[in-house]
Structure 1
């Protein structure tokens, strides 16, 4: 039976968790209040997500090895995958179990869908006469305008049906929609690649995966670049080049953004009667309160005390509602 619906979020962590088995780590990189909307539709073989976000961010996405994934921008030109800018109409075919960085420069919409590899292989063989399999590195595809338009129209239709829940009430609609989408996906994947530098991109992506693994061990430590690069197995110049290409920031700036995001989440979840900005700053390795406050305001557009004050106001509202 088909399942679908739409949820709205103001918490990046809650939004990331809603992707389920797809692990998404978000690092917000711009000022303002984060808002997101996630539409999800699960059909017999196909799973479809439409993601709408309001702030620039860097996403580190870990995909399941047992399914084939495709991602694509939706009516936006601000999305980059693995450092490559995506046009509206482009599609990324991800390798099995890929871990990939995706970033936006502002408000964006994007789609993600998955299906069993055998379903894609059978469909490809039937429609194009050749096998479509998971590539050794992600492939950026650029279908013709007509093929891309057909797919995007079906994607919009699927999201609309998920939002209205009509597809969950009419099994015959769900089956017909899935069949049409599988045909459209197969024709999109028969398109030529949009770039011919997959070997270099694969190497850079592998460096960034090792970088993320090293950072996860050192998020609460001071970053020592020579030690970090020795652990990753690359020269410092190479790491800086990969970060600039794929993340759009330096290694140290990325770690700083991660820590700032964790501090902001802690302030937003703080117990209004017990927490202080100084305590939260120390807990996230910001030992100079003045510098932390300036950096926090520059990044998020408000002071840490303002964030904590809003947490107090929400706490007071919750108390009044429960009394």
Structure 2
């Protein structure tokens, strides 16, 4: 029987944790209450995942090293930027094994992800086309014809709708097997195209810089980011880092550092007991020492005061 399910989340952290083998660090970049939904379907070796998020965000995604993974925007209106490349409708990202990437949305995000063992992909592609398709060393943006892309997005969307509204149908082994074959055939057809978008070498160079940047930020907790010192630590000129951040994140290194830290405070406020916790203590725990400036920055990103976030935590207890 196919494993399937759907769940909704009011916390970006809970949403990220539910993705499973992949690790996703999610940083919200606009105000409002987060609402996310994940829908998943496992068809033998083929795994289908659809994510829906209502707020713009920056995600840093670390993929598992043993799966071939393809991701894409799941509808025409959804925004998705992969490593600085604005994805067109029908574009696919064929990820490298164990790749670490930034995926950004500038508004509501609806994305799809298909994963399968590399051996299964190679066997299916060889049977269908005579070519053994294997994951690239680094991620590539693939641009199949619009017809080929629709042939993949159609059954993908159908599978997600069935999980969300008619789960008993996919419980039928014949239906599940037919859907698996349809998805595999369409996926292989998309991955055999020669049209690779953008410059993969540039993406690879800049993604390596941004991976080192994320590692350096994870080791820091000081109130202000010293960009010159950080650039020396990761071995890139400041101009290069700023260019990469603009492409990948849509903001400067110092702005991203602030947004990361504010998201962590927001998560702590949402988890806290409003009867015993205080905004000042939580802010100081996250190395925000100038509380007035902290409150202004918090409101500018999330469109509410930190005290309002803490008060609302009461309703979630």
Q: What is the aligned partner in structure 1 of residue 64 from structure 2?
A: 64
CA distance in 2: counterparts of 1:314 and 1:160, whole angstroms: 29
CA distance in 2: counterparts of 1:103 and 1:193, whole angstroms: 23
Q: What is the aligned partner in structure 2 of residue 130 from structure 1?
A: 131
Q: What is the aligned partner in structure 2 of residue 169 from structure 1?
A: 171
Deviation at 1:79, TM superposition (A): 0.8
Cα deviation, 1:164-219, whole Å, max 9, x if unaligned, reads 32255212211121111111100011123342411111000001111111111114
Q: What is the aligned partner in structure 1 of residue 254 from structure 2?
A: 252
Cα deviation, 1:127-177, whole Å, max 9, x if unaligned, reads 222221111221111111221111111101211222232255212211121
Which residue of 235, 239, 242 corresponds with 1:240?
242
Q: What is the aligned partner in structure 1 of residue 227 from structure 2?
A: 225
CA distance in 1: counterparts of 2:78 and 2:84, whole angstroms: 13
CA distance in 2: counterparts of 1:113 and 1:219, whole angstroms: 36
Count of aligned residue pairs for this structure pair = 315
CA contact (8 A) 1:50 1:112 kept: yes
Deviation at 1:312, TM superposition (A): 2.9
CA distance in 1: counterparts of 2:116 and 2:57, whole angstroms: 26
Q: What is the aligned partner in structure 2 of residue 37 from structure 1?
A: 37
CA contact (8 A) 1:2 1:167 kept: no
CA contact (8 A) 2:223 2:289 kept: no
Q: What is the aligned partner in structure 2 of residue 270 from structure 1?
A: 272
CA distance in 2: counterparts of 1:154 and 1:240, whole angstroms: 40
Deviation at 1:309, TM superposition (A): 1.4
Q: What is the aligned partner in structure 2 of residue 159 from structure 1?
A: 160
CA distance in 1: counterparts of 2:103 and 2:297, whole angstroms: 24
CA distance in 1: counterparts of 2:269 and 2:198, whole angstroms: 45
CA contact (8 A) 1:82 1:100 kept: yes
Q: How does 1:43-192 map to 2 (within 5 A)?
A: 43-75=43-75, 76-163=77-164, 164-192=166-194
- Counterpart of 1:134 in 2: which secondary structure? coil
CA contact (8 A) 2:85 2:198 kept: no
CA distance in 2: counterparts of 1:196 and 1:282, whole angstroms: 43
- Counterpart of 2:13 in 1: which secondary structure? helix
When the two chains are superposed, the root-mean-square deviation of aligned CA atoms in Å is 1.3
Q: Does 1:193 align with 2:192?
A: no
CA distance in 1: counterparts of 2:114 and 2:23, whole angstroms: 14
CA contact (8 A) 1:72 1:89 kept: yes
CA distance in 2: counterparts of 1:214 and 1:314, whole angstroms: 34
Q: How does 1:276-315 map to 2 (within 5 A)?
A: 276-315=278-317
**CA 1:313–1:121 in structure 2 vs 1: closer, same or farther (change >3 Å)?**
closer
After TM superposition, the score normalised by the length of structure 1 is 0.94
Deviation at 1:223, TM superposition (A): 2.0
Q: Does 1:210 align with 2:212?
A: yes
CA contact (8 A) 1:5 1:40 kept: yes
Unmatched segments (≥5 aa) in structure 1: 316-323
Deviation at 1:221, TM superposition (A): 5.7
